[in-house]
Amino acid sequence: MRLGVLDIGSNTVHLLVADVRPGGRPLATTSHRTVLRLMRYLEPDGSISETGVQALVDAVTQARETANAENVVELLATATSAVREATNGTDVIARIEAALGQDLQVLGGESEARFTFLAVRRWFGWSAGQILLFDIGGGSLEIAAGPDELPDIAASVPLGAGRATIEFLPIDPPGEDATERLRTHARETLAPIVDLMREQPKPNHVVGSSKAIRSLAKLAGYPAPGWSGSERMLLPRAALGSWIPRLARLPASARQELPGITPDRTFQIVAAAVVLHTAMSSLGVDELEVSPWALREGVLLRYIESLSWSAPE
């Protein structure tokens, strides 16, 4: 059975197509991304501008056409913080649904964290024990922790890389004073989550799962042996911290020449680095591992699980 997951996020509209079967691992066949950076289309009243809505509708239409061309049987369409929090979100959702020809599932921040945590748990396996997860999107940062498939704690805070760039680092390059203001804001925003995490056991694995974190790991991390001879990426907090002053002094045009920094991430990578470093510091994390699976895989896995339980005997 061929399924598609359409993730309408703050940075991109991303279609993942995979072949699935009940009880099996999803096998990705196609990945199609349109870079939007919806945060740049936000009006002062918190609405998405008409230009932004039309760009979103065009990207969704293209994704629907790709899904049809790939013979997708069912498309699981989700939207996250940018659409969820827009003051004209109801109208935007209606226009997306009209372009898709189907309903759109708008995920809350905790649901994002739970789906992503499921994907990470399945990737690492039950033997991974207690997991602490960080996932940085364009609009929000998700943090989750627990020893099972459903996290004991799942939280979302408005510290996404796109949002933080617009609010705290609008000048290119931003400089160190601006990054320190963002760091102070991030530390204050994270304080309630730090309190929540105090009663959680020490994690066996600390995991980062977003594209921004993968980019930072390619820049400041290093590869290490994984299970069954595979390779995994590790990102030390100290190495990440050493890069932040350099990133803050470089213009965006120069950042994309660095390892792992793609053109669509170059404007937001400074904010992502500051937010992630602050989160790691606040929770006493010295190093994290990068997961190749995240929200889209979590949505797929939950759907496959429903197929497994409903399959005829």
Q: Are the C-beta atoms of 48 and 93 separated by less than 8 Å?
A: no
Confidence of residue 306 (pLDDT cuts 50, 70, 90): confident
The answer to whether residue 300 is domain-embedded is no
pLDDT tens string 144-185: 999 999 999 999 999 999 999 999 999 999 999 999 999 999
Name the domain boundary from 106, 134, 158: 106
Task: Give the mean model confidence (pLDDT) for residues 216-232.
Answer: 82
Q: Are the C-beta atoms of 201 and 130 separated by less than 8 Å?
A: yes
Rounded Cα–Cα distance for residues 215 and 86 (Å)? 27
Looking at the structure, do residues 291 and 243 belong to the same domain, yes or no? yes
* Least confident range of 31-40, 54-63, 187-196, 241-250: 31-40
Which strand (E) or helix (H) includes residue 46?
Answer: none
Name the domain boundary from 106, 130, 150: 106
pLDDT score, position 237: 98
Domain with 247, as residue range(s), is 109-295
For the cut 60, the answer to whether the pLDDT of residue 304 exceeds it is yes
Confidence of residue 81 (pLDDT cuts 50, 70, 90): confident
Confidence of residue 231 (pLDDT cuts 50, 70, 90): confident
Looking at the structure, do residues 56 and 125 belong to the same domain, yes or no? no
Looking at the structure, do residues 126 and 205 belong to the same domain, yes or no? yes
Looking at the structure, do residues 33 and 162 belong to the same domain, yes or no? no
The answer to whether residue 311 is domain-embedded is no
pLDDT score, position 310: 55
Looking at the structure, do residues 92 and 117 belong to the same domain, yes or no? no
Domains in the chain, number: 2
pLDDT tens string 21-76: 888 889 999 999 999 989 889 999 999 999 999 999 999 999 999 999 999 999 99
Q: Are the C-beta atoms of 304 and 20 separated by less than 8 Å?
A: yes
Looking at the structure, do residues 117 and 211 belong to the same domain, yes or no? yes
The answer to whether residue 302 is domain-embedded is no
Confidence of residue 229 (pLDDT cuts 50, 70, 90): low
Which residues, in sequence order, are CB contacts of 27 under 8 Å at separation 6+? 18, 19, 20
Q: Determine what percent of the chain is predicted with pLDDT higher than 70.
A: 97
pLDDT score, position 19: 96
Residue that the structure tokens 């820049």 belong to: 219
The answer to whether residue 83 is domain-embedded is yes
pTM of the predicted model as reported, rounded to 2 decimal places: 0.94
Tokens of 23: 């009880």
Q: What is the 3-state secondary structure (H, E, C) of 229-291?
A: HCEEEEEEHHHHHHHHHHHHHCCHHHHCCCCCCCCCCCCCHHHHHHHHHHHHHHCCCCEEEEC
The answer to whether residue 313 is domain-embedded is no
The answer to whether residue 307 is domain-embedded is no
Question: What CATH number does residue 27 fall under?
Answer: 3.30.420.40
The answer to whether residue 259 is domain-embedded is yes
Name 7's bridge partners: 14, 78
Question: What CATH number does residue 217 fall under?
Answer: 3.30.420.150
Task: Give the mean model confidence (pLDDT) for residues 74-103.
Answer: 95
The answer to whether residue 310 is domain-embedded is no
**Average confidence score pLDDT of the chain:** 94
pLDDT tens string 95-111: 999 999 999 999 999 99
Angstrom distances, CA of residue 195 to CA of 160, 181, 191, 275 = 21, 22, 6, 18
Confidence of residue 188 (pLDDT cuts 50, 70, 90): very high
Looking at the structure, do residues 167 and 65 belong to the same domain, yes or no? no
Looking at the structure, do residues 93 and 116 belong to the same domain, yes or no? no
Looking at the structure, do residues 46 and 113 belong to the same domain, yes or no? no
Looking at the structure, do residues 132 and 268 belong to the same domain, yes or no? yes
Q: Are the C-beta atoms of 27 and 39 separated by less than 8 Å?
A: no
Looking at the structure, do residues 65 and 186 belong to the same domain, yes or no? no
Name the domain boundary from 86, 106, 126: 106
Looking at the structure, do residues 147 and 265 belong to the same domain, yes or no? yes
Which residues, in sequence order, are CB contacts of 225 under 8 Å at separation 6+? 231, 232
